[in-house]
Chain A
Amino acid sequence: MRARNMKGRNMAATGLLAASMAVFALPALPAEAQEAHWLHVRVEEPGETRVSMNLPLALVEIGLDMADRHVMQGKGTHWGPEGKVSVADLRRMWTELETVGDADFVEIQDGDTHVHVSRRGDQVLMRIDEGLKTRIRMEMPTAVVQTMLGTEGEGLNLRDAVRELARSGSRDILEVQDGETTVRIWIGASGEAR
């Protein structure tokens, strides 16, 4: 009887130890499991075309690296209606905005068109609506924007931005609905689309 009790206590102690180890191990698991390794793209035009791409992020990095060296060739990237906004300008703007915290950066209402760019926590959010037919949603971690703009130079640091994006874990990046056409871009841990 005493031996059976001892055995029971040992089993209980072992179970408790295993449970404690599992509880302590849990916080470490998500960080490892959540890192994204795949870029997924879906484009659907009902009755017309369906495009599905599942690319390893490491391959995307190589592609961006090649584009940077052979297409951009270190030339600066410019935006704006007349291409007058440089990466340096964007970097300065971002540095100012970073200190602000949560804020609405851009809000434009023009007829049916509504554009809204904001920061909420560690996310930059963009929403564009044109009437009821067009709807664009984009979410990007602030760390990715920071990495993409880098600290110097006239080019975008896309390769490191992809790495930062992968570290941020599985997430939706872009959703576009234009009439019946839908585009969805997201990153995930697995090569299989969810």
Chain B
Amino acid sequence: MKSFAIVAAALTLPLVLLAADPAQPSALTAHPAQPSTSVLVVEVTPEHGPRLVIPVPYIVVRAGVALAPRHIRQIPVPGLAPHMDDLHRALATLQDTPDGVFVEIEGPDEHVVVEKRDGALRVVVLDGDHTRVQAVLPFSLLASARNAFDGETTSLHTGALVRALRDAPRGPLVHLLDGGTEVEIRAW
């Protein structure tokens, strides 16, 4: 039993160390009032066949990113650098703006809505009866994701993006319906 505990600790410790970020407060101390995301639930409902519900612990996602090759950990986006200040300003403006529908496009078979509601930017795209995309981008997530861009290397740090996920409020983030297949990703 003792040797099992040592093996378990030996296996878990690197993951915890990889997940720990000295620049950020730990998940235990940060945002005490708002529970941080601990699991991402991926739910796939195919047109035929069984429904799959895959809970992915947040720590595994972080560890996976930390172990990924450099070109995945740092994605170069030099074109983003000149726009960062404007993006920050736009985000701050949107945060201060009252809830409402910003854009709505209705066609014979299409419907697109971009709105701000309950502290999140929500995008809904319906194309006929068989395609539906719903994305919820909480402002807390977007604000945290701002730190993912490194101005010196003009690259996007995937690890920081994943760290931002920790601040996402619990609930659905993405919902896709393509044909008969439905995919939903929830933060939990």
A185 shortest CB reach to chain B, Å: 14
B106 located at the interface, meaning its Cβ lies under 8 Å from any Cβ of chain A in the complex? yes
Interface flags, A58-92, vs B, CB<8A=1, else 0:
11001101100110000000000000000000000
A38 shortest CB reach to chain B, Å: 9
A contact residues, total (Cβ < 8 Å): 20
Question: Besides the contacts A50-B104, A58-B97, what 14 more A-B pairs have beta carbons closer than 8 Å?
Answer: A48-B108, A49-B106, A49-B107, A51-B103, A51-B106, A52-B101, A52-B105, A53-B102, A53-B104, A58-B93, A59-B90, A62-B90, A66-B86, A191-B98
Kindly state the interface size class of chain B when it binds its partner: 10 to 19
Q: Which residues of A contact B93 (CB under 8 A)?
A: 56, 58-59, 62
Question: Which of B's residues lie within 8 Å of A, judged by CB?
Answer: 82-83, 86, 89-90, 93-94, 97-98, 100-108
Q: Flag if B104 contacts A59 (CB, 8 Å).
A: no
13 contacts between A and B (CB under 8 A): A48-B108, A49-B107, A51-B104, A51-B106, A53-B102, A53-B103, A54-B103, A56-B97, A59-B90, A59-B93, A65-B86, A69-B82, A191-B100
Question: Which chain B residue shows the least CB distance to A52?
Answer: B104
A62 shortest CB reach to chain B, Å: 5
Q: Which residues of B contact A180 (CB under 8 A)?
A: none
B110 shortest CB reach to chain A, Å: 8
A152 located at the interface, meaning its Cβ lies under 8 Å from any Cβ of chain B in the complex? no
A55 to B104 alpha-carbon distance, docked (Å)? 11
Question: Which chain A residue shows the least CB distance to B113?
Answer: A52
A70 touching B83 in the complex, CB below 8 Å, given contacts A49-B106, A58-B93, A59-B94: yes
Q: Which residues of B contact A53 (CB under 8 A)?
A: 102-104
A116 to B101 alpha-carbon distance, docked (Å)? 36
